[in-house]
């Protein structure tokens, strides 16, 4: 870290006034709001100085009046810009789970207890896109901040910077906030030709209980020597090429089936994150097919079930595997 970056980080920690993360609600008190002139403000001040020197040189009474009038306008702008941000209250909303690689969406609620509107409030994180909004008098406004994700597990909301240059753009007022909020990031589902789990056909994982002659096509699984040739997915084999393993068509029983998604069914040499990615794909496919499925992980087992609640419970276990 460079000296300038280290100095800025130290200032931000001091400017927060509290140790992050902050419990809700976060109130931007007067001591947490800072003001500095913008580039336009510096140019405005320089222009006033030139006008003052000209009025003094030529003893122009109207020059003095105009200079002091504009200077008073600038001072008033400082007060209004500061008040536009001071005493704003922030509470946390919801953060829906996402898959690794997608943007997490954190919802923050901005509350304005004053009788005048807060205008052009900008929120942003270090790497996110800025969001500008207004907060009506005695009202609340929701702000959704996008944060990029790269790995599974819990993702804490990074530091949020709030600033405004309203009304004239001459002064920038800003404050920092770190609300206590986090989002669950699921493993990224495997893409491409991922074979289905080998444990179709019953809670014991016995594939022989699965009827091969049913009319309803279910999925593809790895080919076994005992499988009839007519059930081999020849079109899939032709599309994937000669080097791809043969796949067998799996047919569904009219009655609901159970699938076990087993950690140990994957190759021993497969890395952990790739295993979790495959299991995530299997969970999503089983849910889309309407099956009842169970999940086996090292030291963890979820009984077979179905539905959205079971889906999110399995994805949560996969996201937090080895991180709890």
Listing DSSP states for 51-69 in one string gives HHHHHHHHT-HHHHHHHHH
Going from the C-alpha of 258 to that of each of 178, 248, 298, 302, the distances in angstroms are: 45, 18, 20, 13
Q: What is the pTM of this model?
A: 0.76
Among 157, 155, 154, 148, which residue's Cα sits nearest to residue 101?
Answer: 148
Peptide bond preceding 167 in cis form (omega within 30 of 0): yes
DSSP-derived 3-state class of residue 87: coil
Domain assignments of the chain as residue spans, ordered by start: 3-183, 207-319
Peptide bond preceding 25 in cis form (omega within 30 of 0): yes
Query: Rounded CA gap, 9 and 50, in Å?
Result: 37
Kindly give the confidence (pLDDT) of every residue in the chain, 324 residues in length, as a single tens digit, with 9 standing for 90 and above. 677 778 888 888 887 777 888 998 999 999 999 999 999 999 999 999 999 999 999 989 999 999 999 999 999 999 999 999 999 999 999 999 999 999 999 999 999 999 999 999 999 998 888 999 999 999 999 999 999 999 999 999 999 999 999 999 999 999 999 999 999 999 999 986 667 776 544 444 443 344 444 455 666 667 676 667 767 777 776 776 766 677 777 665 544 467 889 998 888 899 999 999 999 999 998 888 888 899 999 988 999 998 999 999 999 999 999 887
List the structure tokens of 203. Answer: 């809670």
Going from the C-alpha of 213 to that of each of 149, 181, 193, 228, 247, the distances in angstroms are: 44, 52, 24, 10, 16
Concatenated DSSP letters of 191-225: -SSPPPPS--SSTT--GGGS-SS-SEEEEEEE--T
Please name the residues in contact with 172: beta carbons below 8 A apart, sequence gap of 6 or more: 35, 36, 37, 38, 41, 81, 163, 164, 165
């Amino acid at each position: 870290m460079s000296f300038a970056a280290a100095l800025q980080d130290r200032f931000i920690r001091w400017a927060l006034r509290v140790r992050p993360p902050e419990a809700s609600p976060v109130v931007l008190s007067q001591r947490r709001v800072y003001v500095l002139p913008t580039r336009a403000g510096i140019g405005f001040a320089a222009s006033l100085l030139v006008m003052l020197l000209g009025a003094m040189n030529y003893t122009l009474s109207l020059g003095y009046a105009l200079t002091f009038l504009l200077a008073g306008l600038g001072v008033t702008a400082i007060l209004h810009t500061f008040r536009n941000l001071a005493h704003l209250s922030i509470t946390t909303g919801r953060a829906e789970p996402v898959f690794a690689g997608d943007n997490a969406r954190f919802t923050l609620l901005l509350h304005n207890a004053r009788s005048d509107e807060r205008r052009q409030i900008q929120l942003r994180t270090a790497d996110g896109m800025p969001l500008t909004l207004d907060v009506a008098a005695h009202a609340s406004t929701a702000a959704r901040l996008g944060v990029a994700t790269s790995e599974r597990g819990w993702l804490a909301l990074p530091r949020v910077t709030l600033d405004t240059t309203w009304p004239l753009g001459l002064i920038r007022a800003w404050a920092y906030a770190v609300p206590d909020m986090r989002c669950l990031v699921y493993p990224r589902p495997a893409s491409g030709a991922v074979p289905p789990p080998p444990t179709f056909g019953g809670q014991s994982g016995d594939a022989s209980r699965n009827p091969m002659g049913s009319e309803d096509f279910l999925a593809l699984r790895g080919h076994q020597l005992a499988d009839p040739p007519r059930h081999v997915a020849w079109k899939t084999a032709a599309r994937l090429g000669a080097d791809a393993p043969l796949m067998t068509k799996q047919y569904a029983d009219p009655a609901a089936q159970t699938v076990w998604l087993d950690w140990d069914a994957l190759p021993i040499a497969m890395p952990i994150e790739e295993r979790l990615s495959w299991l995530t794909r299997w969970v999503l496919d089983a849910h889309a097919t309407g099956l009842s499925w169970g999940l086996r992980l090292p030291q963890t087992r979820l009984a077979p079930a179905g539905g959205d609640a079971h889906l999110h419970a399995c994805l949560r276990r996969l996201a937090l595997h080895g991180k709890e």
